[in-house]
Structures are given as structure tokens and as C-alpha cells.
Amino acid sequence: MIAQEGTEELIITSSDPNGVKDEDISNDAVSMNLMYYRPVAAPVHESFEGSFLPKGWDIVNTDGGATWQKTTGAAKTGNASVSISNFTYLQLGQKDYLRSPTVTIANSDSAFVSFHVAAATSTNPSSQNNVVDTLQVLISTDCGKTYTSVYKKWGADLVTRSGSVRNAFTPANSEWRREEINIGEFINQGEVLVAFQNTTGNSNNVFLDDITIRTVTVNPNLKEAGFLVSPNPTDGAISVQFYPHPADLTGIYIYNIAGKLVEERTFSSGAVPGNIYDFDLKYCPAGMYVVKAVFKNKELRKRFVKVK
């Protein structure tokens, strides 16, 4: 039993097999390293600026070849990131995992994994039948025994520099792309391990930075009413929030107490981009205002006070 966090060596020995003296004691012991860290609460943010590997993170490198490593040669933020040198990694199809600590996401309303990625290929990424590097994001709810893929990109979908790169790729700051993945389907599982899997195609290097695992908990008042205006009272700036996503919303209209329209935002069918909409009413005089949210089959109203 491991009593504290960290890496421990597990040693298993045997003696007197079948109740008699062992004539070959050379195989009476086997050992392996075990890593144990308690689950951590979200959010988890790692930009690889400190020691490597960060606490609770690990790497699975079954072939003992090239694998994920810290680099100060490129970064989206700060001075460091992680990369894998596919450009010189000759063994095709090898899978290397960079794995997060186990993160608790239970009792939240939604959960997300985000990161910055930079990648290139040594051949035309749009060419047919190319052997290319593949990046997957995998979720495990059983400490890495099994995985579910939630993100998979390769070739033209993965690269952040167009065209082929004939030497080892190092990205400029502008050659990174932010990705965000909704992992809300795993909330009921309680705890998740996030793995970044590189499958090499001996194409070119892949970089990761600013990995974040976060949860979102909806304001109980918003969850109950489905519609919230905050802050209230306000000095001018307000957010109009909806829960869940207001797919049938056609417009948001703000009126003063005399019924005059002072702000509006309308949406065409199927073009409601989010759940939160910000308005700045600093130019309006103090007083009572009404927000009217118009849906295809209903209207909702909320009052708020502007204090100055």
C-alpha cells in the first residue's frame, strides 16, 4: 500500500515455492515503479514553465524512443512548451502519451479541455496517401486502463503552418491554434485523466502549450429561471445570460421605463452563437430598464436598475 504521493518501487518476492527450497533464486523477485497522486480539483492549468514533468503528470513511452519533452525553443505563452520530435522519429505508428493528473469534474454543469497546438508536415498536408502524424486527446475514467477519443486531427486539419516544411519545425508565436473540447459527457464519472496521444508518421514536430482542464458551474438563479441579467443594480455594463443554450432566441431588446428602445441585438434562424450577451448602457441616464428576450414561441422579461 502506498502511503504518500509520489513514485514508489513495488517489489514482489517469493520463497520456498511449493514448500521446498528454490533451486533457482534468480527469478524470485520482480519490481516495478508505481506513481500515485490524489485526484486534484479543476481547474488545472499547465504551461510547462516549471520543472518537468509537472507534479502528477506522466509520459507513456512504450518503445523507449523519442517522446514528449519540455522545450524552451518555442512557446505560445511564457518561455516553454512541450513537443515531440516526429521529424527525426523514424518508427512509424508509435504512440506516446502525455497524461494529466486525475482531475475531479463532478458536480459541475459543464467541463472543457483547452490547449494551444502548433504542428507542420514535411510533405504537402493535402496530398493523398501521406503518412502523417496524428494528435488525439483521450479521456480515461479508470486511471488509464481504457480511453475514449474526444479529439483527433492529422495532416491538413492538424497543421498550423501551411505547405510543407523540409526542416525540423519550430513555430513562431503566430503559428499556434487554440483548441477547446467539451467533455461534459464525463461529468457523471466524477474523475478524468486527460491524455495527449501522438502517433508518429515521421512527418514533423508537434508542440503543445497552455493545457487547461476546467469546469463551469451555472449560477443557481440562472439555472432555475433560465434567464438572468447581471449585475443588478449596475453602473451601465450588463450581461444577459441564458441557460441552457437559447437555440430559438430571435432577439434581445432593452427598453427604458418609458418604453423607448435603447439597445437591441437580433439573431437569424440557427445563428445564436452563445449563452452570454454583453451590453454597455453607460450613455443612458439612471433609472429602471427592462430586458425583453424574444424566442420563437415565448417572451421573457427582466427589470434592472442603472444607478448612475
Together in a domain, 232 and 87: no
**The predicted structure's pLDDT at residue 21:** 74
pLDDT of residue 35: 57
C-alpha cell at 290: 427592462
Domain containing residue 291:
220-306
Element of type H or E holding 192? strand 191-199
Domain edge (last residue) among 177, 196, 216: 216
Match 480539483 to its residue by C-alpha cell.
41
Q: Are residues 232 and 161 in the same domain?
A: no
DSSP string, 262-290: EEEEE--TT----SEEEEE-TTSPSEEEE
In a domain, 3, yes or no: no
Q: Helix H segments across 55-168?
A: 155-158
Backbone angles phi, psi at 204, to 5 degrees: -160, 180
**Can you read off the three cell numbers belonging to residue 267?**
439573431
23 occurs within a structural domain: no
- Residues 147 and 161 reside in one and the same domain: yes
How much is the pLDDT for 39?
87
Determine, yes or no, domain membership for 180: yes
Q: Which CA distances in Å does 25 have to 22, 94, 280?
A: 6, 36, 79
- Residue 18 maps to a domain: no
137 part of a folded domain: yes
Is there a single domain that holds both residue 183 and residue 273? no
Backbone angles phi, psi at 301, to 5 degrees: -130, 140
Phi-psi region of 252 (alpha: psi -120 to 50; beta: other; left: phi over 0): beta
Q: Is the domain of 226 the same as that of 205?
A: no
Domain end position, chosen among 156, 190, 216: 216
Distance CA 306, CA 308 (A): 6
Whole-number pLDDT of residue 31: 59
pTM of the model: 0.75
Q: Are residues 206 and 270 in the same domain?
A: no
Q: Is 128 part of a structural domain of the chain?
A: yes
Q: What is the domain-level CATH number for residue 167?
A: 2.60.120.200
Answer yes or no: do 197 and 261 share one domain. no
Provide the residue-wise pLDDT of the chain in tens; the chain has 308 residues. Answer: 445 666 655 567 777 677 677 767 767 776 555 556 688 999 999 999 999 999 999 999 999 999 999 999 999 999 999 999 999 998 999 999 999 999 999 999 899 999 999 999 988 777 766 778 999 999 999 999 999 999 999 999 999 998 889 899 999 999 999 999 999 999 999 999 999 999 999 999 999 999 999 998 888 889 888 999 999 999 999 999 999 889 899 999 999 999 999 999 999 877 888 899 999 999 999 999 999 999 999 999 999 999 98
User: Taking a C-beta distance cutoff of 8 angstroms, is the pair 256, 304 a contact?
Assistant: no
* Residue 234 belongs to some domain of the structure: yes
Grouping H, G, I as helix, E, B as strand and the rest as coil, residue 31 is strand
Q: Are residues 203 and 63 in the same domain?
A: yes
284 and 212 belong to one structural domain: no
Asked if residue 58 is part of any domain, the answer here is yes
113/229 same-domain check: no
Residue ranges of alpha helices (H) inside 162-236 are 220-225
CATH number of the domain where residue 302 is located: 2.60.40.3080
| Structural domain ending residue among the three candidates 216, 242, 276 | 216
- Domain count along the chain: 2
Asked if residue 123 and residue 197 are part of one domain, the reply reads: yes
Contacts of 271 (CB under 8 A, 6+ apart): none
Q: How many other CB atoms are found less than 10 A from the CB of residue 139?
A: 21
**258 and 179 within one domain:** no
Residue 221: per-residue pLDDT? 87
